[in-house]
């Protein structure tokens, strides 16, 4: 069932309950008309269709149910029936938890009890109270019963208020002057504007032709003078309201009682939104008129009833009523289409009011969500023109410029927004109300300028400024921690993350970021503890799963490998399209000598990412280590197609070409290519010397080995190979040994992503660090001397030849050692 359909069902339920309430004061025909007017009134579109309307609807259901329950608290013999009262208190509590205005039903119950159930009028009540105070009479028993019921209701109301205050932790929301400009205006502007808003709301009920989803900012200009002509509307409204009030309280007829209850339903539920006790975060809100419209509909239906009883106006009253119901129905139907999407909603609002910067911003947000940044920028810029001091609008412009890669303009916009923030005055303390999302200007500006390595200190200053303005600004600590890591200050980054954890210990991302700091501090055990803490809070934290598995793998502890494998399997379950997960499973399998399994994982990684450098190389290496060198060649060709300068790939290819394919020319090209890129590469240089030896160019091989020995004078195997070549040169007829080229026998790099800060929108969002740390696995390869059949030289005896051969075999055994550690990539 869709969200809107469920809201419509709730609205229908409210209309049915409202019909029952109407029958307490109106005849059946008028009750149906009042309920029908309520059901089709366009003012309800925001409550029924809007995302914030569910609370209004549920509160209204319990509101009306509580009132109906209270009307049954009087027994046949005028005794008190406590069950309906207890139910009323319960329903009031539920209504209040749904929406604050639910508590106002207590006031309506009190008015009903005194003026409807007991039949008092204001003059009669004053006379009775006066007589009691003068000692000329006693309090009637019926009035005592009323007082008991009212005391119960008032006590329960007080208790609900205390609970509600505890729920909001004794703090009212922070609103800015943009949300409700009159709330921060001086006297008499504040009073004149607040009073004018009452006839504005009444006019929306009477003539809902121009509805707007947002009435904040400059929608309704402030009334700054008594000479403002709009004060006439305020005066007229209070005169009309006062006339109805006097009529309903002074007279005891059914008509006055109906008017009184209609006025109560209009006025009392509106009090929380009237700025009477505390400022609210809007100027006008159509949704808060949902319950007050009930009283308005009762008033209209009652007026229609009075007019339609006169024969002269009977037909006209029916025609007018039909027109009202028809036009309201059509308006409601049309208004529903305005709520089809954010874009259509805010565009319809701009047709009504072009002086509200928030509407221009919201249209921009809708376009931004569709990645239409060019059009979004136009609306954000228009918002800054309508309200030049709107910090949020300038932040939106900056963010959009950044999305368009126009960093200079983005910085200018952020700087403009920052200049509108309250400035720190040295040596002076003062309090200023700042919307929490406006502090993101410091975060977003810092995130922008820290891309420039020379401005990292400036970015850090911005983060510290945000923290100084709001010490519990968690996002600032997170962003600063990331920056400090970038500045190679892991100890200070650790302090920043620990401070953020004091504010939110249940944030898995924070524990994850702290683990990254410990990796930078070379404390892998502490890092693993923090990864584990992150996974306790969020077992599906993808980056914690991945990086903790890599950390376990790097530790070299065999007992940790099963857990590492388990976490990598969980990771690929969460991220089935990330090749890194499969690659590292392959690396684990290689560590465990599970060659077939390793081959499967590597192939899956390559299937997902055809140019996966490390996966291609290590799969080729796996084949070469398992005597499948010919299967490694096409993999190496693919690797070198993507990365022609991959030195280890060239070394491995040259080795296979020489030792398996006997393609000396192809191997020579590989080694020459290596030396073009890195003339000091010992392994490439040595293997090229072997090629010269295989080509029987002994003098060139000798010179080559001398150059190689100069590059690595402490490598014994180069000296031994040089001695062999010199022996050959000194022999009149030589027996040609073969130098197998250096082989590669281990793994290449692994990449570690980490958590990073997102730029906030409004700017606000969840922050992450992505930090890639190559896990360079170093390896060694076998170096050995091969041999061909040596031919006897005429001047050497058999004994001498055997002695030489014996030494050569011993040399071969000594040279079957692990290859030197390759530098990871």
Give strand pairing partners of 751: 774
Q: How far apart are CA 693 and CA 618, in angstroms?
A: 29
| Greatest pairwise CA separation for the chain in angstroms | 153
Determine, yes or no, domain membership for 56: yes
Q: For the segment 662-697, what is each residue's pLDDT rounded down to a tens digit?
A: 889 999 999 999 999 999 999 999 999 988 888 888
- Tens-place pLDDT, residues 690-709: 888 888 888 898 899 999 99
d(CA 811, CA 721): 10
Query: Nearest CA to 479 among 749, 758, 742?
Result: 758
For residue 635, tell me if it sits in a domain: no
pLDDT in tens, 222-242: 999 999 999 999 999 999 999
Residue that has been written with the tokens 């005849």 in this structure: 27
pLDDT in tens, 369-381: 999 999 999 999 9
* 752 phi/psi in degrees, rounded to 5: -115, 105
Q: What is the pLDDT of residue 173?
A: 61
Is 521 among the domain residues? no
Res 385 pLDDT > 60: yes
Domain containing 105 equals 3-213+220-339
Band of the pLDDT at 816, cuts 50, 70, 90? Answer: very low
Task: Assess whether pLDDT exceeds 90 at residue 6.
Answer: no
Q: Give the pLDDT band of residue 426 (cuts 50, 70, 90).
A: low
Spatial distance between the Cα atoms of 408 and 121, rounded to a whole number of angstroms: 71
pLDDT tier, 783 (very low <50, low <70, confident <90, very high otherwise): very low
Does 20 map to a domain? yes
Query: Following DSSP, what letter does each residue of 380-398 receive, concatenated?
Result: HHHHHHHSTT-HHHHHHHH
Does residue 784 lie within any of the structural domains? no
Over the chain, what is the mean pLDDT? 82
Asked if residue 124 has pLDDT above 60, the reply is: yes
Helix 292-308 crosses helix 3-22 at what angle (to 10 degrees)? 50
Asked whether residue 257 is assigned to any structural domain, the reply reads: yes
Give pLDDT tens digits for 177-187.
777 888 888 88
Number of domains in the chain: 1
Alpha-carbon gap, residue 197 to 105, rounded angstroms: 23
pLDDT score at 824: 33
The tens digit of pLDDT for each residue in 83-103 reads 989 999 999 989 988 888 888
Is residue 258 assigned to a domain? yes
387 part of a folded domain: no
Model confidence at 274, pLDDT cuts 50, 70, 90, reads confident
Identify the band that residue 168 occupies on the pLDDT scale cut at 50, 70 and 90: low
Contact 231, 192 (CB under 8 A): yes
Lowest-confidence segment of 48-52, 265-269, 394-398 by average pLDDT: 48-52
Residue 646 and residue 613 in contact, taking contact as beta carbons nearer than 8 Å? yes
Alpha carbon distances (Å) from 656 to 250, 253, 347, 614, 628: 109, 109, 68, 19, 10
């Amino acid at each position: 069932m869709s969200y809107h359909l469920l809201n419509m069902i709730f609205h229908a339920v409210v209309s049915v309950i409202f019909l029952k309430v109407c029958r307490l004061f109106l005849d059946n025909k008028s009750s149906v008309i009042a309920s029908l007017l309520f059901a089709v009134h366009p003012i309800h579109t925001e409550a029924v269709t809007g995302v914030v309307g569910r609370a209004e609807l549920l509160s209204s259901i319990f509101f009306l149910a509580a009132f109906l329950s209270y009307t049954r608290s009087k027994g046949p013999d005028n005794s008190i029936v406590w069950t309906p009262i207890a139910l009323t208190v319960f329903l009031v509590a539920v209504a209040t938890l749904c929406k604050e205005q639910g508590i106002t039903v207590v006031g309506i119950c009190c008015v009903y009890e005194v003026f409807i159930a007991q039949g008092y009028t204001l003059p009669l009540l004053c006379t009775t109270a006066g007589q009691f105070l003068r000692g000329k009479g006693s309090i009637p028993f019926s009035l005592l019963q009323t007082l008991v019921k009212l005391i119960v209701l008032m006590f329960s109301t007080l208790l609900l208020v205390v609970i509600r205050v505890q729920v909001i932790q004794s703090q009212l929301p922070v609103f800015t002057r943009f949300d409700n400009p009159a709330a921060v205006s001086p006297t008499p502007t504040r009073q004149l504007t607040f009073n004018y808003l009452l006839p504005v709301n009444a006019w929306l009920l009477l003539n809902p032709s121009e509805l707007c989803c947002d009435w904040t900012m400059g929608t309704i200009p402030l009334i700054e003078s008594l000479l403002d002509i709009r004060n006439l509307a305020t005066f007229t409204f209070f005169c009309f309201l006062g006339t109805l009030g006097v009529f309903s309280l002074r007279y005891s007829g059914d008509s006055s009682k109906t008017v009184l209850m209609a006025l109560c339903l209009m006025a009392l539920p509106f009090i929380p939104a009237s700025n009477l006790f505390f400022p609210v975060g809007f100027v006008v809100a159509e949704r808060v008129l949902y319950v007050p419209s009930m009283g308005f509909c009762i008033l209209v239906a009652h007026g229609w009833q009075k007019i339609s009883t006169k024969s002269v106006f009977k037909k006209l009253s029916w025609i007018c009523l039909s027109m009202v119901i028809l036009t309201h129905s059509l308006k409601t139907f049309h208004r529903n289409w305005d709520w089809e999407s954010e874009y259509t909603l805010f565009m319809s609002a701009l047709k009504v009011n072009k002086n509200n910067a928030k509407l221009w911003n919201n249209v921009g947000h809708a376009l931004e969500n569709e990645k239409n940044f060019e059009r979004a920028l136009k609306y954000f810029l228009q918002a800054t023109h309508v309200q030049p001091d709107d910090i949020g609008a300038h932040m939106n412009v900056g963010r959009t410029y950044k999305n368009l890669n126009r960093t200079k303009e983005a910085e200018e916009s952020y700087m403009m927004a920052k200049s509108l923030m309250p400035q720190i005055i040295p040596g002076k303390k003062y309090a200023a109300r700042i919307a929490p999302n406006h502090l993101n200007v410091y975060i977003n500006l810092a995130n922008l300028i820290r891309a420039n390595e020379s401005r990292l200190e400036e970015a850090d200053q911005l983060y510290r400024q945000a923290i100084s303005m709001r010490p519990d600004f968690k996002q600032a600590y997170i962003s600063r921690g990331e920056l400090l890591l970038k500045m190679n200050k892991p100890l200070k980054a650790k302090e920043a993350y620990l401070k953020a954890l004091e504010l939110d210990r249940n944030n898995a991302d924070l524990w994850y970021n702290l683990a990254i700091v410990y990796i930078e501090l070379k404390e892998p055990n502490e890092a693993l503890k923090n990864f584990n803490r992150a996974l306790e809070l969020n077992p599906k934290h993808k980056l914690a799963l991945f990086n903790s598995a890599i950390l376990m793998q790097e530790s070299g502890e065999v007992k940790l490998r099963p857990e590492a494998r388990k976490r990598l399997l969980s990771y690929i379950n969460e991220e089935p399209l990330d090749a890194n997960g499969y690659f590292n499973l392959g690396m684990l399998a290689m560590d465990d000598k599970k060659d077939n399994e390793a081959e499967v994982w590597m192939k899956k990684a390559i299937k997902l990412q055809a140019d996966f450098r490390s996966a291609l190389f290590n799969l080729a290496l796996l084949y070469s280590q398992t005597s499948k060198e010919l299967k490694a060649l096409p993999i190496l060709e693919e690797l070198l197609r993507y990365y022609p300068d991959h030195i280890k790939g060239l070394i491995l290819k040259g080795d296979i070409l020489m030792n398996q394919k006997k393609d000396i020319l192809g191997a020579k090209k590989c080694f020459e290519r290596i030396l073009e890129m890195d003339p000091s590469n010992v392994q490439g240089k040595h293997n090229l010397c072997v090629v010269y030896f295989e080509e029987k160019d002994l003098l060139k091989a000798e010179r080559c080995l001398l150059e190689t020995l100069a590059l690595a004078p402490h490598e014994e195997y180069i000296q031994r190979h040089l001695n062999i070549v010199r022996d050959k040169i000194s022999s009149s007829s030589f027996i040609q040994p073969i130098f197998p080229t250096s082989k590669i026998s281990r793994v290449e790099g692994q990449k570690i992503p980490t958590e990073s800060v997102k730029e906030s929108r409004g700017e606000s969002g969840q922050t992450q660090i992505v930090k890639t740390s190559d896990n360079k696995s170093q390896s060694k390869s076998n170096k050995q001397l091969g041999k061909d059949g040596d031919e006897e030289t005429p001047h050497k005896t058999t004994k001498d030849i055997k002695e030489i051969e014996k030494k050569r075999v011993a040399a071969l055994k000594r040279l079957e050692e692990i290859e030197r550690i390759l530098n990871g990539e």
